[in-house]
Amino acid sequence: MKVTRRKSRLVKIGDVTIGGNSPIAVQSMCSTKTHKVTETLTQIDSMVKAGADIVRVAVPDEKAVDALAEIKAGCPVPLVADIHFNYRLALAAADAGVDKLRINPGNIGKEDRIRLVVEKAKEKSIPIRIGVNQGSLELDLIDKYVGPKPEALVESALRHIVILEKCDFHDIVISLKASTAWETIKAYRLIADKCDYPLHLGVTEAGPALRGSIKSAVALGVLLYQGIGDTIRVSLTADVTEEIKSAWEILRALDLRRKGPELVSCPTCGRTEIDLIPLVAKVEKALEQVDKPIKVAVMGCVVNGPGE
C-alpha cells in the first residue's frame, strides 16, 4: 500500500528541499560542544556517512556562534542552528551562514525579538523552524490547558506562525515534540489540519537506544503511515549515528525511503540447525559497508529458508 502524503509547502534548507512530494529528510543533532570545531566536524562526517540529510548544532553562547562559519565551511549537508533563550544568537548564527534557524517559542522572548529574527532570516533567505517542546512550553498555555497537553503545543505553534506571517515570512517548518508517543501523534494530527507548512517529526526525550527507538518508531510510524511528516529525527540517549540508523529503518519499514541493504533473519527455534545469532551479527556488520538497496536473508532451518 502506497502512503498518500499530506500536501505541504516546499521549503528549501540549503540544497535539500522538504515538503510536497520531496523525500522525507533524515536529521540528527551533534552531541559535541559546538565551539570544539574539529570534534564537531568529525561527528558530522560520521553522521553524513550514516545517512543524515540535515545536521543541527546547539548554539548556546558566543563561543558556539564564533565556530559556526568554520563548521559550515566543512559541513557537506545543510547546517541548522538550534537557538534557545537569546534571540541575538539567532541573528549571529544567520550572519555566520547557517542554512536554517530553529527557535523555541517557549523561551525565545517577546514578539519584537522574534520579528528581528524573522527579518534576519528574510535577509539571508533561510527558513525558520518553530520548534515547540513540551518541556519548555509558555506558562499561559500550561495554565490554559492544565498542563503541557497536545492542544497547548498546537496553540503555541499557531500563535508563532501568525507572528511570522505578519512579517510576510512563509519559509516555515513546524515541530511539536512531546515525550510520549500518543501525545506526539495527537499534536501532529491536530497541527496537520491547521496549516500547510512542512512538519519535522520527533519525540523529545525519547530515552536510551532500545526504548527510545521503539517509542519513536511507534509515534513516527503512525504519523508517516497517515502521510504526516516531511523530516524526521529519532532522539536517543545514544551515539548520534544510532539515531540516523533508526530513522532510516522507520522509513524503510513503510517503504518511504531506502538506504543500503535490508537484513532479514529468523528468530530461531528448536529447528535451527546452525548457530544463527552470531552469524547474523557478523553479516549485519559486513553489510554496513554496502550501499546497494538489496535484501539479505539469513535463515536457520528448512521452514523459512526456501522461501527466502
Considering the chain, tell me which residue range(s) the CATH 3.20.20.20 domain(s) occupy: 11-259
Residue 305 pLDDT > 90: no
How confident is the prediction for the chain on average, in pLDDT? 95
Grade residue 306 by pLDDT with cuts at 50, 70 and 90: low
Give the residue-averaged pLDDT of 230-249: 97
Residue 308 pLDDT > 80: no
What does the pLDDT look like over 111-124, one tens digit per residue? Answer: 999 999 999 999 99
User: What is the pLDDT, as a whole number, of residue 102?
Assistant: 98
Higher pLDDT, 291 or 237: 237
In terms of Cβ atoms closer than 10 Å to its own Cβ (0-12, 13-18, 19+), residue 39 is: middle
Give the residue-averaged pLDDT of 190-209: 94
Residue 285 pLDDT > 90: yes
Q: β-strand 16-18 against 11-13: which pairing, if any?
A: antiparallel
User: What is the pLDDT, as a whole number, of residue 62?
Assistant: 98
Which fold, 11-259?
Answer: TIM Barrel (3.20.20)
Q: How far apart are CA 172 and CA 279, in angstroms?
A: 47
User: What is the pLDDT, as a whole number, of residue 36?
Assistant: 99
Residue 250 pLDDT > 70: yes
Give the residue-averaged pLDDT of 78-84: 98
Q: How far apart are CA 199 and CA 181, in angstroms?
A: 16
Residue 307 pLDDT > 70: no
Residue 196 pLDDT > 70: yes
Residue 303 burial (CB count, 10 A):
12
Q: Could you tell me what percent of the chain has a pLDDT over 90?
A: 87
Grade residue 88 by pLDDT with cuts at 50, 70 and 90: very high
What does the pLDDT look like over 100-155, one tens digit per residue? Answer: 999 998 889 899 999 999 999 999 999 999 999 999 999 999 999 999 999 999 99
Question: What per-residue string of b and e applies to 250-278 under the rule 16 or more CB within 10 Å gives b?
Answer: bbeeeebbebbbeeebbeeeeeeeeebee
Query: In terms of residues, how long is the chain?
Result: 308
What does the pLDDT look like over 262-284, one tens digit per residue? Answer: 999 988 898 888 899 999 999 99
pTM (predicted TM-score): 0.94
Grade residue 205 by pLDDT with cuts at 50, 70 and 90: confident
